Structure 1
Amino acid sequence: MLSNTHEREDRHLSRNSTKLRMRSLSIATAIVTGLVYTVCVLFIAVAPKAAMAFFSSILHIDLSSLARVVTWGSFIAGLLFWSLGSALYAALLARLYNSLAPR
Structure 2
Amino acid sequence: MKLGSFKKEAAHLGHIERVKALTRERFELSANAPILVSELACGSPGCPPLETAVTFWTSDITRHHFKVFKPTAQVIADDLPFRWMKNAIILPNEVGCDCC
- Shared fold per TM-score greater than 0.5: no
TM-score calculated relative to the size of structure 1 = 0.30
Larger strand share, 1 or 2: 2
Q: Which has the larger radius of gyration?
A: 1
Larger helix share, 1 or 2: 1
Q: Which has the higher contact order (CA 8 A, sep 6+)?
A: 1
